Structure 1
Amino acid sequence: MLKLRPLTEGIFRKSANMKSCRVLKEKLNSGDKVNLDSESVLVVASVLKDFLRNIQGSIFLSDLYDKWLGVIDQGNEEEKIIAAQRLLAQLPRANFVLLRYLFGVLHNIEQHSSSNQMTAYNLSVCIAPSILCPPNSCSLELEDNVIRKVSLVQFLIENCLRIFGEDITSLLGENSMSCDNSEKAAVTEKPPLESKPVTVIVIYKKAQLQNDTKTPTCMGPPSYLSTVF
């Protein structure tokens, strides 16, 4: 069990100890019971990012790669949201559910960027390469495509509630973390969003998020992660 604390500075950006990451993955792969609360948040975040990067065919589906990049080219914000929702509807159920939780986590982290230094843009730079994979992963991506997919992920984070539903914040648990005294003292008509630890149960197992017949392989076969938030 893991509590991804949104106030952790540099989460998903700071490098984690490689040996610790390897040891944690080996434990998860072997089926050992692991207390993730005792693990570094940066290590667990790194392992999660590694899992996302190694999903066969990409969590967004490589077949839809060009269409996803096309979302950012839509005319206005509302058209971009509609285009994103239409593509989400084409994903397998498991992919959609994982994305919903993932972007709920990213949105929650972004809400505390003044403390963790992880704005929507910073998060997108760190996460986009792991979740948006072109059909031919062996070829180098054009610089323009790299910029566009970072912009897309940033847009999805910033508009998470409108795209995935406002109830997404309720998926992150009820417990709140202690915040800075300045945050506690702030009193407004509309209270700021609480900093909610995200409880994640992670189990590595042989499974795939999408149908092999529909999607090409993006990376080599990973040890797949079943994530329950």
Structure 2
Amino acid sequence: MSSWAERVHRRAADLGNVVTSCGHPATAPAYPYRLEKVKFGVPLEEVCKHNNNIPGPLLVLILKLNKESPNRRDVFRAPGHQGAMKKLIHFLQAGRLVNVDNYSVFTIASVLKKFLRKIPNGIFGRSGEMELFAINDLQNEAEQTERLHRLFGSLPKYTQHLLVLLFGTFRVIASNAAHASTGMTSEALGVSVAPSFFQSCVSDGKTARMEDVLKFKVSTKIMQNIIDKFATHDIFGRDNYEYYARVTGRILKVQDEWICSFQYPPPPRGKLAQQKYALQHSLEAEKTWLQCQCERWGLRP
């Protein structure tokens, strides 16, 4: 079990109020704990009914994609392993412990797309999809941005959190596409994930109608637009951007404003322990400042 996986599961446990782990010791009985179940094909409010939070296991999958997929080619476009997908979905729905290190980012991305595709009426809802199509027809960019902001702000908080994590991950992948030669630009991502977000553009029959094809083209454009505007326009709101920064540990700049959100544990007792804590805190602050400067000047730390 990698140190990163341990940190991710601890973060998911804190945010989702669940007890989770990437795996279990070899001497322990198989699956000694039960986690939050990630149900497929049910309304999102039922999936997130525990304290109105994203289930910890689902959060772990998104965080793995956020960390590892920016440097991998064709993530969200290349299909995952079918057998591994079935196994992972079974574990998620049964609330069993999952070692995310055993699954490729392609398998996890495919499972995530399937989860989104099976949400009744889609993650935006029918009315939300209609509003997004209407926003796409606007010529005024400022009005377009304002209506996107209002739409996302009107959704339940757990939906806002899920969307900001997803689009934040898409943004990191797209911004790294040229440097890492992954091929996953915002346009490529839009084409790959639009059917999972927009159920109205998916045909019920075996043959796609021209109307469905046109809707698919528009939906891919909408997805590309949101990905491109993720950090250049305030479309998700300050609270959601801070949530994204806090959960992923990333630094981002929204409309020329740096957003860094780190939480530290309370200072330990004892003079020597407090001195060590202060030194570590100072080093973390310096590291954060250096990361901000690297982002500002287009450097890679």
TM-score by length of 2: 0.55
SS of aligned partner of 1:9: coil
**CA 49–96 in structure 1, closer or farther in 2 if over 3 Å, else same:** same
Aligned to 2:297: 190
1:120 aligns with 2:199: no
Structure 1, unmatched stretches of 5+, are 177-186, 195-229
CA distance in 2, matches of 1:74, 1:89: 19
> What code does the residue aligned with 1:118 have?
M
Partners in 2 of 1:31 and 1:148 — Cα distance? Answer: 37
Which has the higher mean CA deviation after the structures are superposed, 130-139 or 81-90? 130-139
**Of residues 201, 217, 239 in structure 2, which corresponds to 1:147?**
217
Distance in 2 between the 1:50 and 1:150 partners?
Answer: 17
Q: Following the alignment from structure 1 to structure 2, what is the Cα–Cα distance between the partners of residues 164 and 188?
A: 21
1:33 aligns with 2:140: no
> In the alignment, what sits opposite 1:170?
245
TM-score normalised per structure 1: 0.72
Residues 203 and 212, structure 2, Cα contact 8 Å, conserved in 1: no
Structure 1 stretch displaced more, 6-15 or 141-150: 141-150
Deviation, 1:38, is 2.2
Query: Paired residue for 2:125?
Result: 61
Q: Distance in 1 between matches of 2:102 and 2:91?
A: 14
Determine which structure has the larger helix proportion and give its number: 2
Greater relative contact order, per chain length (Cα 8 Å cut-off, separation 6+): 1
Q: 1:92 aligns with which of 145, 152, 156?
A: 156
2:173 & 2:131 partners in 1: Cα distance?
Answer: 27
Q: From the two aligned structures, give the one with the greater strand fraction.
A: 1
**Structure 2 counterparts to residues 196-211 of structure 1, below 5 A:** none
Tell whether the 8 Å contact from 2:153 to 2:236 is kept in structure 1 after alignment.
no
Between the aligned partners of 2:217 and 2:157, the Cα distance in structure 1 is 28
Matched, 1:18 2:88: no
Alignment length (residue pairs)? 184
Structure 1 residue 133 corresponds to structure 2 residue 199: yes
Query: In structure 1, what is the Cα distance between the partners aligned to 2:295 and 2:127?
Result: 46
**Mean CA deviation greater in 1-10 or 124-133:** 1-10
Give the distance between the partners of 1:95 and 1:53, measured in 2 at CA. 14
Change in Cα spacing, 1:188 to 1:98, as seen in structure 2 (3 Å) is closer
What is the deviation of 1:164?
A: 2.2
For residue 192 of structure 2, what is the amino acid of its counterpart? C
Instruction: Give structure 2 stretches of 5+ with no counterpart.
Output: 1-59, 252-293
Indicate whether 1:104 and 2:176 are aligned.
Answer: no
Contact 1:65 1:135 in 2 (8 A): no
2: distance between equivalents of 1:52 and 1:188? 31
**Share of identical aligned residues, percent?**
29
Larger Rg: 2
Within 5 Å, give how 1:36-51 maps onto structure 2. 36-51=100-115
| Worse-matched range after superposition: 163-172 or 47-56 | 163-172
